[in-house]
Chain A
């Protein structure tokens, strides 16, 4: 069955960097677009980024554009989110999710918590 497992979360100081990973299994990873979506504690959902199935196109939310980079390695069935210049407001659970083309994500991981604090 479809499985998405995020890792790499933790506590990081403001201004520092962190890289999240999402290991995919149970489907043909290279055929699907992949998303990152985050949720600050007690808050709603915020769409972060999308990468096309082959990595050819990438889209970002306004609050992370220029600081975060989404990428993928289809040979490893793994999605990444490189987060630079982190701010306190980036504190959230980060979910990776699968989407077919430009369709909404249909399978989600369980999330990894990122806490930005000094």
Chain B
């Protein structure tokens, strides 16, 4: 199985900050990577697919990058609504696997 490792596990930041979350895969993924946002008590929401394709309705301050085994999710200017947990997921091969998550907290 492909192991997904996110860093950091927790990130403390202020409104307006630029933040970057990294996701590393144990095997080559090409661009078959997605990012999700999850708020407490809610279902996850798909932000980005194919490593860098923003889903409809997702604010442009979110961007995804990378390919192969290393990927990033960047929020260019953190807004109050962005304080949440973020997960990467590989869908290159079954079983699909998620990273352990990154919690973005208010500093």
Interface residues of A (CB under 8 A from B): 37, 44-47, 50, 59-62, 95, 97, 102-106, 108-111
Q: A104-B34, A108-B44, A108-B45 are in contact. Are A45 and B98 (CB under 8 A)?
A: yes
Query: By the criterion CB–CB under 8 Å, are A104 and B45 in contact?
Result: no
Measured CA separation A47–B92 after assembly (Å):
13
- In the complex, what distance in Å separates the CA atom of A106 from the CA atom of B34? 10
Contact A109 B43 (CB under 8 A): yes
- A/B interface sample: 19 pairs, CB < 8 A: A37-B44, A44-B87, A44-B98, A44-B99, A44-B100, A45-B44, A45-B98, A45-B101, A47-B95, A47-B96, A50-B96, A60-B95, A61-B96, A62-B1, A97-B43, A103-B91, A105-B46, A108-B43, A108-B44
8 Å CB interface, B65-95 against A? 87, 89, 91, 94-95
Q: Is the interface of B mostly helix, strand, loop or mixed?
A: loop
Interchain nearest-CB distance for B83 vs A (Å): 17
- List B contacts of A46 (CB < 8 A): 98
Asked if A59 and B100 make an inter-chain contact with CB atoms under 8 angstroms apart, the answer reads: no
Is B22's CB within 8 Å of the partner chain A?
Answer: no
On chain A, the residues within 8 Å of B98 by CB distance are: 44-47
Interface residues of B in 31-58 (CB under 8 A from A): 34, 36, 38, 42-46, 49, 55
